[in-house]
Structure formats: structure tokens, C-alpha cells
Amino acid sequence: MHNSRTVPNSSSGRSSLVQKLIIAGILLIELIFAVFAFSSSQVIVENTNLPSKNASVDFNTGAINISSEAMSEIYAMPKVYTLPFNSDPGPVADANNYLTTKDTELLSQKVTTFNKDAWDGSDIIMYEDETIKAYLWKERIDIETKETYNFADITIAHPSQIRRYYAGGEYQMNTRYYPQTMAQTTNAVVAITGDFYNYRTYGVVVNNGVVYRDEPRTKMPYVLFIDYSGDLNIEYCHDNYDVEGYVAENDINFSVCFGPTLVKDGHILTPKEAYNYEGEGWIYGWAPRAAIGQLGELHYLICTVDGKNPGYHGTRSYILAQVMNDKGCYIAYNLDGGHTATLVVGGEVFNRVAFGGQRASSDLLYFATAIPNE
């Protein structure tokens, strides 16, 4: 009932007002700081593992080419053609350089991986220019059961010609194209589906030297890394593996993450290993398969095995390992098989894709000519 509580005198009222203004001012400053701190906390996540340029390589290549050009009338020094190490499509391959034939003698002269006795009688396709030689054929190979294997034996002149393509041109989780469309988009001489990286959210994804994904990889521990020399490397990437460190130290261009390893250091995947494998896909059983292996410097063998169609059963991964090893691959890796496995040459699908039609996928491995278009 004291009015001093409800009706303050004027001087204490002013004092109280000043105090309130001070507090309000301080709180306002805090608010400004808080807003500022919040806005500045929108940190852009930057990739610390940045790519490198190849200035010396580019310069040396250019020096060879300018010499070759200058002395063209006195001495034939071969030019070096290269492509940039990026996600751009390759040049358009000259359609006149494709040859469709059934001349097995000719193919035998071109490659040692061809087994004439196992040839299934279908068309053999060849592409040759100064920078890439590709030969594709089919064999019926009888291990446990007779199945159709589609092979591509490819030699390139420069490591920039083995390339990776992601649907839409960049790493993204929601874009998928038919493999044939991707092969046509990239002007691939030969292309094969890779790991279908955006089917899942885990595993390792590296492209153009940049690590895009390095998620826990218990299910996909064996990762294929292709370096800037064009060599295949397979690493067992356990959960604590330093992928960024490996990529930086080993000049890695891109990765493919599926597995398992089929052939490495003289070891071939065994039936027991395939049976016990807990990784992605049905590794032990019969299924359409896809693989890539290396035969020598810038020399590769890729393979798909037809399955999931009437009369076509696919193969088991350990049988594929044996076949790739028999063909001379000292390293070979299992790619995503099943309905994904698609092999394209000159823009046309070469293998019998499972279930009679292509499945839209996220990525390709492909080989391009390096001869520039006029």
C-alpha cells in the first residue's frame, strides 16, 4: 500500500530509465555480436586436398610438339597428344577409324589377350588412331559353366585418356543417366560403368584429385585408385585410413569404389574369399559382372560377363578373377555388376545388359582419343 512502490519519484524514475537504457544498449550490442557470430559461422566447408596443375608435364609436352612441328620437313618426330585432367568430354573420335570385322587372324595379330578358340563368332570391333587402340570381342569361356565374356583390350598413348565421368558432369547424388548416353556425351571410344557411387552414401569418391566422399567404408574397403600415370592401384581402406593423405602422396586422379580385388601382386581372389566377402554386391554367386585390369603401361583389359537374361547366367567373382589373371592382368578389380554392368564402344552398347535393358547409373570409366577435333 506504499505509493513509493507504485509511483516512483522523478529522479529515481530517470535513474531507472537510464539503467534500463544501458542494459538495453548492452543487450543490443550483444545481439549484434550474436547475429554477426552466427552469420560468420556459416563456414564454407572447403576441401583441403586440392588438385595440382601439371605445368612441367604440359610444358614438356608442348616443347616436344613445337620441336616436332618445327622439324617436320626434316625428321618425323612423333607428336604428343594429351587431354586436360578434368571432367571435360574427350574429342570426337574419327568414325572412319572404327572397323567391324570377323577377321580373327587380324585380331590375333593385334592383341595377345584374344583366344580364337573361345571366340563366339560375333562381330569384332576395332578402333585405331595415333593415341588409342581398342579391340572388342566376345568369348564363351567354360569354367564351371559356359558363359559369354565381353572383352575390350585398350592401349592409350597418354594417361589423360583414361577418364572418369559423373552423370551431369560433376559429383552429385541425384543425377543418373543411361550408360550409353554418358558414353556418347563424353565421346568415349570405349566406356564401362564404374561403381554407381550415388546408389549409396558411403564409400570413397575421388575425382580429379579431389576427395568428394570418405565415409565409413566397412562394406567397401577395397578401393581402386587410378593415378596420374594411368596406373591402377588397389588399397584396403579401413575406417581410419587416411584417404586424403594417400591421394596427395600418390598423385591419384580418381577412384572407383566397389570391389573386391580380383588380382593383385600375384594373388587371385579365391572362392573362399569370395564366399566370405561382406562387401557390396553378391560377390560369390552367379551374376552379370564387370571388371577392369591392367596388362602393362597404359594398357588395360576391361570385361563384362552377360547374365540375368535367358541362357546367360553371369559368373562368380572368383572365376572372373581367374579369367582376368589368365588374360595377363597383373592387377584387376571388380566393378559394379548386375544390371549396372554395361560396356559401350563407339556409342553403342556391346554387351548383353541384364534384364534386356540399361539401368540409369551415376558414372563411367572411359577411354578417349586425344587427337583434337579440327
Partner 1 sequence: MRKTTNSSGSAIKILLALLLLVVTIILCSSRSSLTPATCVRMPAPEETVSEFFDALTDGRYEDCDALLSNYTSLGLTSSTDTVIGSQLFEMLGDSYHYDILDSSNVSHITPAAEVVSSADASAVIVYSSVTIDDINKALESTSVTGKDASVAVAFTYLDISSMSDDLHTLVTDIAYNYAYESIDINNEETANQVVLESLQQLNESIEDYYRTDIFIINMKYDNGEWKIILDEALYKAIIGNIA
Residues that bind partner 1 (CB under 8 A): 4-5, 12, 15-16, 19, 22-23, 26-27, 29-30, 33-34, 36-37, 40-43, 49-60, 62-67, 69-75, 77, 248
Could you tell me the smallest distance in angstroms from the CB atom of residue 209 to partner 1? 8
Q: Among positive and negative, which fits the CA dihedral 155, 146, 116, 124?
A: negative
Residue closer to partner 1 by CB (options 115, 250) is 250
The CA–CA distances, whole Å, from 299 to 77, 159, 226 equal 23, 10, 13
- Our CA dihedral for 280, 136, 322, 364, rounded to 10 degrees, sits at -20
Could you tell me the smallest distance in angstroms from the CB atom of residue 196 to partner 1? 29
Residue closer to partner 1 by CB (options 22, 92) is 22
Could you tell me the smallest distance in angstroms from the CB atom of residue 369 to partner 1? 17
Residue closer to partner 1 by CB (options 1, 50) is 50
Residue closer to partner 1 by CB (options 78, 216) is 78
Phi/psi of residue 167, each to 5°?
-50, 130
Could you tell me the smallest distance in angstroms from the CB atom of residue 255 to partner 1? 17
The answer to whether 119 and 137 have CB atoms below 8 angstroms apart is yes
Could you tell me the smallest distance in angstroms from the CB atom of residue 86 to partner 1? 10
Residue closer to partner 1 by CB (options 34, 92) is 34
235: which residues sit within 8 A by CB, 6+ positions away?
222, 223, 225, 241, 246
Separation between Cα atoms, residue 154 and residue 261, nearest integer Å: 20
- Label residue 98 exposed, middle or buried (CB < 10 Å: 0-12, 13-18, 19+): middle
